[in-house]
Amino acid sequence: PFLRGESPKLTRPLVAESARRMQVMVFEDGIKVIRDAHRGTVEIYDLNRDPKELSNLYKEGQGDERHLDLLRAFFSAQTLRREGYSVPYQKW
């Protein structure tokens, strides 16, 4: 629906992760969190008020840490931990 330009009601977060260690989560309340482990940066946007992502609430000290905590918890829970296993992408 998003690719067709529609705005469906989210019932669970949208999640994405790139090989460059960037993690993104969009919550049903319109908050988008971007964590770039490569650069060590965090961005939080309120897409309802700022759909063009011009105002980084985290950088401005206005971001709600619970969204960031949920992103961290999700990716931590999804990380494969096994003796001898290493992440298949290049570590920066």
Q: 36 pLDDT exceeds 80? A: yes
CA angle 33, 37, 40 (to 5 degrees): 90
How many other C-beta atoms can be found within 10 angstroms of the C-beta atom of residue 67? 20
Q: Which residue has the tokens 């897409």?
A: 47
Q: Which residue has the tokens 């940066």?
A: 41
pTM here is: 0.73
Please give the pLDDT value at position 85. Answer: 67
* Range with the poorest average pLDDT among 18-22, 37-41, 49-53, 63-67: 18-22
3-state secondary structure of 24: strand
- In tens, the pLDDT along 57-86 reads 998 888 778 999 999 988 888 776 778 766
Distances (CA, A) of 57 to 38, 46, 91: 20, 8, 28
Residue among 74, 70, 89 at smallest CA distance from 18: 89
Residue among 83, 92, 81 at smallest CA distance from 37: 92
What is the band of 92 on the pLDDT scale with cuts at 50, 70, 90?
very low
